[in-house]
Chain A
C-alpha cells in the first residue's frame, strides 16, 4: 500500500517535471502545444543514445539532455513557434499535431521502433532495505530530483527578476514591451527552459515510462490532463494535479487492471465538467 503510494508520488513528480513546461506555454502564453511530448522524447533519446553508444555516465547525461532539448526548443521557438502565438487555436492544434507526427516518424526512421532500455548505474538499482515499505532507489532519486527542481522553479518564478518579468510579459505583452522588456526574448527563454525540463523529465522517465517513438502520442493526453486539471495560473496547481494523476494511475492499474486508463479519463472529464478552468485555476476566462 505504502509502496504503491510511493510509486505514485514518484510517477506524479515525473509527470510534473514533464508537463511544467507545457503549463507555462499553454497556461501563461495561451498556446496549445500538443508537441510537448516530442521534447520529452528528444531528451530520453539523447540519454539513451549517449549512454548506450558513447558510454557517458547516467548523471552526466541528465544535464546534457536538458541542454540539448532546451537548445532544440529555442531554435524551434525562434523559427516555427513564434508566428503561431497569435493564431487561432485550431491552427496551433494542427501545427503541433504535425510536429508530433514528424517527430514520431523521424525517430522511428533514425533509431528504430523498438523500445529503448536504459542501464541504470548500480547504486540506483534495487530497493532500500526498509521493512514493510519497499522503496525503489531510483524512484527515490526521481522524487528528490523533481522536488529540488520544483522548489527552484517556484523560487525563480516568484522571487527573481526574471520571474517577475515573465509574469509581466504574460499578463500584458504590450505594456511589458512598452516598459522596455524584451518580450520576445523572455518568451524564448521560457520556452527553451520548458522544453529543457521536458527533456530532463524524458531522460529521467525513460526507465519508468518506457521509451519508444510513439512516446509523444502516448503521453500527450497525460500532460494535457496535468495542465488542464491543475489549472494554469499557478505552479502548485499542476503539481497537485500531477501527484493526483500519478497516484490514481498507479493505484488504478494495480487494483483494477481491467479498467486501465479508463478511470483516469473519466475522472478528468468529471473534473473538467465541474470546474472547466481546472481544479486550482482562477475563475475568469482568459
Chain B
C-alpha cells in the first residue's frame, strides 16, 4: 500500500510515507466489513442448512462467479461487454474436452479451463482498447458469435449442435493427501461444495485485487480515462490485465458448469448468456464485487418462480423486468426508499 498516485506521493513527502492520507484512505477502504464477513460465513452455512437444494445452489454459485468476473470488467474498468459468454463457454468446452480426452481429474481440468480462457482473454483484450462503446459492444459480441459458430461447425471436436456428451468426471481429490476423494453425486452435494470453495477463493483474490493500488487505478480510468492517462496511469496495460483476469474467472465459472453437469452445449456461447449475466450483475449492483452474488440469488429464485408458472414465456417477464429496472433507474432499484421521492433527489 505505497503511493497510489502522484498526489499521494506528494503528500507522503510531507509526512512519514506510511501515514499519507491517500494510503490511509486506501487501507481503510480495504478493511473487512461486518457484512462481508457475514457473507463469507453464509456460504458454508448454505451448504449445511439446505442439503436438498444443492443443485439449484450450485447453479447460483456458478452464475455468481460469472457475474463477479463481469463486474471486474464492467463495474471496475467500465467496459460494456455483450460477449462475456465467450470466456464462460470457452472454459466450459475446455474443461469438458480435457475431462473427456485427456484426464478426468476435476482440479487439473479446472486449471486448464482457467488457463485457456485467460489466454483467450489476453488475445482478445487488444480488441477492446480502441474505439467507442459501440465498437466494444460489436467486438465482444463478434468474438462470442465466432466461438459459437466454431463450436457449431467443428462437430468432430465439440459435438456440434448436440453438445459435448459423455463427459465423466473423476472424484474430487485433495492435493497432497492420499484420500479416496469425493465423487460427484446426483444430489449435487460435492458439486456445490466444490463450486463454493472456488467462488470463495476467487472472491478473496478479487477483493485483494480491487483494493490494491491496481484496482483503485482501474476505477480512476473508468471514471475518466483521459485524466487517468495524464497522471501517468498506463491505461492500456491495465485494461489488458483486468480483462485477462476477468476472462480467467469466467472460464473458471464455465469449467465448473461443465464439470458439475458433465455436459457442454452451444448454449454456453449464446447471446442469452451474455445478456443474462449483465442482468444478474445489474440487479445486484455493479462496482462493489458482491453484486454478482446477490444478483445471482435474486435472478435464479425469480427464474424458478416464474418458470414454474409459465415456463415457455419466462423471457417476456425477464424483458419486462429489464425495461422497468432501467426506467426506474439502476441506482434507485436497489434502494426502495427512494422510489417515491422526486427524481431530483435520486439522481
Give the interface of A toward B (CB within 8 A): 26, 32, 80, 83-84, 87, 89-91, 93-95, 97-106, 108-109, 217, 220-221, 224-225, 227-228, 258-262, 265-266, 268-269, 272-273, 276-277, 285-286
Contact = CB atoms under 8 A, between A and B. Distances in A.
B187 to A, nearest CB: 33
B278 A94 contact: yes
B138 A262 contact: no
B142 A83 contact: no
The 6 lowest CB-CB distance pairs between A and B, nearest first, are A98-B322, A276-B131, A101-B319, A102-B319, A105-B316, A98-B323
Interface in B230-272: 271
B321 A277 contact: no
B82 A93 contact: yes
B79 to A, nearest CB: 10
Contact of B127 (A98, A99, A217, A273): A273
Contacts, number: 129
Interface of B is mostly: helix
Given A102-B316, A269-B127, A90 B139 contact: no
Contacts of B149: 259-262, 265
B150 A262 contact: yes
Interface residues of B, number: 42
Given A93-B80, A225-B138, A106 B316 contact: yes
Contact of B130 (A83, A90, A260, A273): A273
A221 B274 CA distance: 14
8 contacts: A32-B137, A91-B330, A93-B82, A98-B318, A221-B145, A224-B141, A273-B126, A286-B132
Contacts of A109: 313, 316
B236 to A, nearest CB: 14
Contacts of B141: 221, 224
Contacts of B319: 97-105
Nearest to B318: A101
Contacts of A286: 132
B273 to A, nearest CB: 12
Instruction: Determine which residue in A87, A266, A269 has the highest number of CB atoms from chain B within 10 A of its CB, and name it.
Output: A269
Nearest to A95: B326
A252 B175 CA distance: 50
Contacts of A108: 312-313
B133 A89 contact: yes
Contact of A258 (B130, B131, B139, B153): B153
A87 B326 contact: yes
A102 B322 CA distance: 10
